[in-house]
Amino acid sequence: MDCLVINGGATLKGEVKISGAKNAALPLMAATLLTREECVLRNLPNLSDVQFMARILKSLGASVMMSRGTIRVRAKKIEGFGDYDLIRKMRGSICILGPLMGRLNEAKVSMPGGCVIGARPIDLHLKGMRDLGAKVRVEAGYVHAKAKELVGGESFLGGRCGPTVLGTANLMMAATLAKGRSVIHSAACEPEIEDLAKFLNAMGAKISGAGSPTITIRGVRRLGGAEHRVIPDRIEAATYALAGAVTGGDITLRNCAPGHLSAVLDKMREAGVRLQLGRGTLRVLPAKQLRSVDITTMPHAGFPTDVQAQMMVLMLKSPGISIITERIFESRFMHVNELARMGADISIEGPSAIVKGGLPLSGADVMASDLRASAALVLAGLSASGVTRVNRVYHIDRGYEDIDGKLRALGANISREPGQ
């Protein structure tokens, strides 16, 4: 397993291009299963999760060609239900459930895996399929779903911690080929859901309301091929913006969508970071004085849980006490113990982390537990004195394209080495 070795203290400067969004790319790739015709997706990030999804599509019988950020998929005929071992390793693989139900009225999908950040049940995914008339059971590690035909209905997808994003995507995809009208109440409002609806509509679907809590889908008899450009990755953009902030740097993000980052940018401004927004660009300038702020993660358009760990590093640099409350996942403070190795003073009280900022961080050997924790540890290493080794970076390769190369281009002293 590789590790990232960071000699901290460098001030980041320059420009960085933001890649396509992983959380948009995976459902978009799955959606290509809804048609026999060729689909083309551009601005696809070069990530291990994307490679995994391409292999899953191939295991289902699709023709897949990838080259320089573009994928061409043609699922002329779907064969079987995919490779169990491939699907169970990646949480995002559950998004093939909806397309298989829409195309075949039947699906057999292995229960998905992914980062260990707390319980992420798929009960709302299954409820959505039942609301379209499918019979669903979970047996021997598989989800089995089958219907004589899918019939439009009304579904409520609000969960204990808010709407389900992949559940909304799954139900929306299945409903495109269901008979009649479907309505999703308490739908996820994320930009990735809007992007998926845009692609499905280009294929011939009739979807309205995406980006709002109520989505309406009028089923059609068939979908055709389409071309689509994946939206920029808002989580990657937030991570680099915070990397600039924690190092006191001056960096410009290109190919980004600042409008997707409103909650994050609002908190960065409150913390004293200076920002300049342009059309598809974001410039991060050094703060004159960093300030502690309180943060609570919420469903979109609230502060995203996927940026909580990175924001914590900025709070470690900010004098004073800040309280970070996690309302989406109950086990998303696994980076705290690793930050403590670097000198961080953080205590956990229920769903909240109490962060004492302004203390110096020093390099240490740390272990990544999940994708966003990995990013936080890299940011901490950039801002710490001495050398930090971030182990198990296969986590970070799932969601950040060439992170070490991009950071080096900004002036970071970072290298990739074989792990111990």
Dist. CA 69–CA 57, nearest whole Å: 17
Give the N- to C-terminal CA distance of the chain in Å, as an integer.
8
Token pair of 235 as six digits = 């989580």
Is the distance from CB of 414 to CB of 22 less than 8 angstroms?
Answer: no
Backbone angles phi, psi at 182, to 5 degrees: -120, 145
3-state secondary structure of 8: coil
116, 331 contact by CB (below 8 A): yes
What value does the CA radius of gyration of the chain take, rounded to a whole number of Å?
Answer: 21
CA dist list (Å): 56 to 62, 225, 278? 9, 19, 38
160 class by beta-carbon count within 10 Å (0-12 exposed, 13-18 middle, 19+ buried): exposed
Considering 3, 115, 189, 256, which one is annotated as catalytic? Answer: 115
- Residues 228 and 198 sit within 8 Å (Cβ to Cβ): yes
Q: CA-based angle 147:93:261, to the nearest 5?
A: 115
**Is residue 231 packed enough to be buried (19+ CB in 10 Å), middle (13-18) or exposed (0-12)?**
buried
In angstroms, rounded to a whole number, what is the distance separating the alpha carbons of residues 58 and 307?
32
Whole-angstrom distance, CA of residue 31 vs CA of residue 293: 40
39 part of the active site: no
Query: Could you count the other beta carbons within 10 Å of the beta carbon of residue 76?
Result: 11
User: Is 381 in contact with 406 (CB distance < 8 Å)?
Assistant: no
- Please list the helix, strand and coil fractions of the chain in percent, rounded to the nearest 5, in that order: 35, 30, 35
Residue from 63, 43, 60 nearest 225 by CA: 63
CA atoms within 13 A on the CB side of 79: 7
Neighbours of 229 (CB within 10 A): 16
- C-alpha span between 87 and 97 (Å, rounded): 11
Tokens found for residue 379: 């940011």
Just list the catalytic residues.
115
